[in-house]
Amino acid sequence: MRIGAAAGSVAMYQAMTRLGHAAGTDFRGPPALTGTRKGSTVLVLGAGLAGMLAAYELRKAGYTVRILEYQNRSGGRNFTLRGGDTLAELGGAVQHVQFARGNYINPGPWRIPYHHQAILHYCKQFGVALEPFIEVNHNSLLHSSTTFGGVPQRYRDYMSDFTGYTAELLGKAIRQDKLDQPIGPDEKRDLLAAMHGWGLLDKNGNYVSSVSASFRRGFDKPLGGGPDGAPIPSKPLPRSDIMKSGLWEWLSFNMNYEMQTTMFQPVGGMDMIGKGFAKQVGDLVTHNVKVTKIHQDAGGVTVSFEDMGKNNAVSEAKADWCVCTIPLSVLSQIDIQVNPAMKAAIGAVPYASSVKVGLEFKRRFWEQDEQIYGGISFTDQPISQISYPSTGYFSDGRSVLLGGYMFGNAAYAFAGMTPEERVQAALDQGSKLHKQYRDEFLNGVGVAWSRMPWTLGCCGTWNEESRRTHYKALTEIDNRIVLAGEHASYVGCWQEGALLSSLSAITRLHQRAIGAA
């Protein structure tokens, strides 16, 4: 959080990556659970992806499974808002989504990296159709409030100029033997050749306006036909502005392993995945129940809950084993009977605040006026980014884009606003990138994860010390209870982490149940 406050959401995400919150995954296929003892029962708490996957694989293995879910739907943080939906948050605010038919916003997960093989596997197995998610668009915008007169720059222009100027400066250092470490003549030749090709430098090693550079950053007058078809090369932006703007931070954002192409999204909205899982285990789920107590003894687990569909009538459910996927932010407030080390671990992981704003417009002006087809524009304003839909290209009529995605201090500030104020703030800031915003705007929603009563935050945020101190205790089996969810993985804040933690949890639980561990 301190990194995010000082340097913005990009720096915070990069730090999360280095701290093991966003790493490659180790999925090798579904588990082979055999030898289940007849009549063995499992209670799964939470019908998010982790809980539903646990129930699916355990039932396949021969267990009798029941899922208890707080909400009136399955999917957890995997959900999509469409026209006609209603979203209530802590504090009493209620949003009624007014999007046109077919339009939607994904308040939680919204993209899937190609190397998240667990979720890709189950999407294929459950018949969830996927399509490309456009992460990088060289025609999108980069915006600094303090440089270039506040005028947004095309991603390709800024990238080309940053690359060119950096190559020029490094080339000069090489030629003048000003590098910290000496290099031989062969390496010097190769490095200079690399700088010329990488930065599109001229014969003197300078980055200047040229036809070759314009084929990367675009022409002032594009190539055409006929007598007047000759292009006019574009002019690079001032080097001082390129460097001091800090926009180079966004260039490195897409170098992160989690953000590299190719990425995917479900056709029709992210909740297609949740619905795909629910088709497999929907008959096992009891919705609208609030877990109040999780106790265990040598013979099994007893879970007390209030049935919100029956005037909060108190009931109990019993099983031999329990897989608990309740977010730690909520679980830390529940009476759970586990050892002191696991109890401490449950209370040691804070949850990040995150806000997403979905905006519906009369038309796809970003395509029609600016030729931006998918991808993300970035800004140093609190909204951080604008993501354009990766589907429905060239269509007429109303369309929805992601008008802001905030973490850290910006998210807390937006969470403190009313939903209407969040939408208006996103409009004000987005207008700095797209002058059409106000004229084309129809309606919007602003989802603050810290105000969602069933999760109280976006995802668990370990740091190095807390992971070293508490992670092992959190993920071990305590007698007959095991925890699962993205918080119990090294792929935090991603659906992949939820699935991998679930597979690990049920594999180890099964081994204990059949006496192998």
**Average pLDDT of span 276-285:** 98
Query: How is 298-325 classified by DSSP, letter by letter?
Result: TTEEEEEEEEGGGTTEEEEEEESEEEE-
By CB neighbour count within 10 A (0-12 exposed, 13-18 middle, 19+ buried), where does 64 fall? middle
**Beta-carbon count within 10 A of 220 CB:** 11
Q: Is the per-residue pLDDT at 467 higher than 70?
A: yes
Which residues have CB under 8 Å from 14's CB, separation 6+?
252, 253, 256
- List pLDDT tens digits, range 376-428: 999 999 999 999 999 999 999 999 999 999 999 999 999 999 999 999 999 99
**Beta-carbon count within 10 A of 512 CB:** 14
**Token pair of 168 as six digits:** 């020029």
- List pLDDT tens digits, range 21-33: 444 468 989 999 9
Q: Is the per-residue pLDDT at 201 higher than 50?
A: yes
Rounded to whole angstroms, the Cα distance separating 306 from 292 reads 7
Q: What are phi and psi of 415, to 5 degrees?
A: -65, -25
Rounded to whole angstroms, the Cα distance separating 230 from 227 reads 8
Q: Quick check: 379 and 432 in contact, CB under 8 A?
A: yes
Confidence of residue 182 (pLDDT cuts 50, 70, 90): confident
Write down the residue that tokens 């469409």 correspond to.
82
pLDDT for 26 equals 80
Helices of type H across 62-100: none
pLDDT for 516 equals 74
pLDDT for 206 equals 98
**Average pLDDT of span 16-41:** 76
Query: How is 252-294 classified by DSSP, letter by letter?
Result: HHTTSGGGPSPEEEETT-THHHHHHHHHHHGGGEE-SEEEEEE
Pairing mode of beta strands 141-143, 375-379: parallel
pLDDT for 181 equals 87
- List pLDDT tens digits, range 122-154: 999 999 999 999 999 999 999 999 999 999 999
Q: Is the per-residue pLDDT at 6 higher than 90?
A: no
pLDDT for 20 equals 42
By CB neighbour count within 10 A (0-12 exposed, 13-18 middle, 19+ buried), where does 289 fall? buried
Output 37 or 182, whichever has higher pLDDT: 37
pLDDT for 396 equals 97
DSSP state of 48: B
**Average pLDDT of span 235-254:** 96
Q: Is the per-residue pLDDT at 11 higher than 80?
A: no
Angle CA 29–32–36, to nearest 5: 155
Strand order in the sheet with 375-379: 153-154, 141-143, 375-379, 385-388, 399-407, 354-361, 441-448
In the chain, the percentage of residues whose pLDDT exceeds 90 is: 93
Confidence of residue 180 (pLDDT cuts 50, 70, 90): confident
Identify the structural domains of the chain with CATH numbers, from first to last.
31-71+271-349+462-513 (3.50.50.60), 81-139+260-269+352-451 (3.90.660.10), 155-245 (1.20.1440.240)
CB environment 126-146: b (16+ within 10 A), e (fewer): bebebeebbbbbebbbbbbee
pTM of the model: 0.93
pLDDT for 19 equals 46
Q: What are phi and psi of 142, to 5 degrees?
A: -120, 130
Q: Across the chain, what does the average pLDDT equal?
A: 95
* One-letter amino acid for residue 175 of the chain: R
Enclosing H/E stretch for 241: helix 239-244
Confidence of residue 207 (pLDDT cuts 50, 70, 90): very high
Q: Is the per-residue pLDDT at 510 higher than 80?
A: yes
Report the sign of the C-alpha dihedral through residues 164, 166, 172, 175, in that order: negative
**Token pair of 403 as six digits:** 């008008």
